[in-house]
């Protein structure tokens, strides 16, 4: 699926989705009214997604946004467990020229990319999601760096260019002691 210069597009998906799709590639360029690409409830229904390329969407704040229903019900509950999202076939992520992009997912999510071969993030200066790799399993992990979220005054993040087959390194993934609930 490719969306290019769809000026008035505010949501790519709307309403409940309960069927797995065969969608393998998503390319979104210059869709300036989008604030997120996926609702969080859609992720389990994208088992075949292998390429994600998002470029020059000026108002994009997150790749995975909060679902209105989940956001309102979760705000009434107490402390949350970290939720885990797995992208089982995602091999390539390219994010470029997204000046308002803050994070890959909502706060409290732990993302896993077991098949990721290429991670290319350029000109996303407000991004507070940190990426790390477990070099034993070659799984890439992502989560929001809470410290950066609370006291970041410098909007100058470095580009991330990582490829599995080269010797470029992401920080080593360290498992935390807190509980993670599965969201697969």
DSSP string, 101-112: --BSS-TTEEEE
Residue 38 lies in a domain: yes
Q: Which domain holds residue 62?
A: 2-12+19-68+79-174
Residue 180 lies in a domain: no
**H-helix or E-strand containing 95?**
strand 92-96
Residue 181 lies in a domain: no
pLDDT digits (tens, 9 = 90+) for 28-54: 999 999 999 999 888 888 999 999 999
Residue 110 lies in a domain: yes
Number of domains present in the structure of the chain:
1
Q: How confident is the model at residue 79 (pLDDT cuts 50, 70, 90)?
A: very low
Residue of higher predicted confidence among 18 and 85: 85
Residue 105 lies in a domain: yes
Residue 36 lies in a domain: yes
Instruction: Please tell me the predicted confidence (pLDDT) of residue 21.
Output: 81
Q: Which residues pair with 139 in a beta bridge?
A: 134
Instruction: Please tell me the predicted confidence (pLDDT) of residue 77.
Output: 43
Contact 126, 99 (CB under 8 A): yes
DSSP class of residue 81 equals P
CA distance 162 to 147: 23
Residue 57 lies in a domain: yes
Residue 87 lies in a domain: yes
Q: How confident is the model at residue 78 (pLDDT cuts 50, 70, 90)?
A: very low
């Amino acid at each position: 699926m490719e969306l290019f210069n769809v000026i008035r597009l505010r949501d790519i998906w709307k309403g409940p989705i309960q069927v797995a799709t065969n969608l393998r590639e998503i390319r979104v360029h210059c869709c300036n009214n989008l604030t997120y690409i996926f609702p969080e409830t859609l992720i389990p229904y994208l088992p075949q997604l292998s390429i994600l390329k998002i470029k020059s969407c000026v108002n994009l704040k997150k790749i995975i946004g909060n679902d209105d229903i989940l956001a309102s019900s979760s705000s009434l509950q107490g402390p949350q467990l970290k939720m885990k999202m797995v992208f089982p076939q995602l091999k390539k992520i390219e994010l470029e020229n997204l000046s308002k992009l803050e994070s890959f997912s909502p706060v409290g999510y732990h993302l896993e990319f077991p098949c990721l071969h290429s991670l290319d993030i350029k000109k996303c200066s407000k991004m507070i999601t940190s990426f790390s790799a477990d070099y034993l399993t070659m799984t890439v992990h992502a989560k929001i760096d809470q410290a950066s979220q609370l006291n970041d005054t410098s909007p100058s993040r470095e580009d991330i260019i990582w490829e599995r087959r080269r010797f470029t390194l992401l920080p080593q993934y360290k498992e935390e002691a807190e509980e993670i609930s599965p969201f697969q």
